[in-house]
């Protein structure tokens, strides 16, 4: 698995950091779609955790909200929204498929059905 590293340098201005964080959020969202399309759940979950960590850093940076009000950020948000909706939709679809597969597997569990095997073990 690879890890996306957020740009965080001491000499970078907070507003530039906010801008970089939003661009990284957009990139991570694009990557999430790629990995869920490829059914790479482990990488998808890792990227989702990275994105969640990034959101925490964004919330801790006051300039995030200042940058969010700019036209530039609003345009980026308009690109992010449909991607987020796709991620949510595809993640829910994957979860439903996974649940159905799990239910199918458990339908064949024969725990507690040992009496059936006993019929074949009798000697006549």
Structure tokens at 91: 């993640």
Please name which of 62, 50, 68, 75 lies closest in space to residue 14, comparing C-alpha atoms: 62
- Rounded to whole angstroms, the Cα distance separating 107 from 10 reads 57
Average pLDDT over residues 56-73: 96
Q: For the CA atoms of the chain, what is the radius of gyration? A: 23
What does the domain layout of the chain look like in residue ranges? 14-96
Q: Convert the pLDDT of each residue in 100-111 to its tens digit.
A: 776 666 556 655
Q: Which H helix or E strand runs over 94?
A: helix 71-107
Please state the rounded mean pLDDT for residues 6-18: 77
């Amino acid at each position: 698995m690879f890890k996306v590293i957020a740009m965080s340098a001491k000499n970078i201005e907070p507003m530039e950091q906010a801008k970089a964080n939003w661009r990284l959020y957009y990139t991570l969202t694009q990557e999430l779609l790629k990995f869920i399309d490829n059914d790479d759940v482990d990488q998808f979950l890792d990227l989702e955790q990275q994105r969640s960590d990034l959101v925490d850093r964004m919330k801790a940076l006051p300039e995030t909200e200042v940058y969010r009000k700019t036209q530039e950020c609003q345009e980026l948000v308009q690109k992010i929204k449909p991607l987020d909706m796709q991620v949510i939709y595809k993640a829910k679809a994957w979860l439903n498929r996974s649940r159905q597969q799990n239910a199918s597997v458990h339908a064949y569990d024969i725990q507690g059905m040992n009496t059936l095997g006993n019929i074949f073990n009798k000697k006549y």
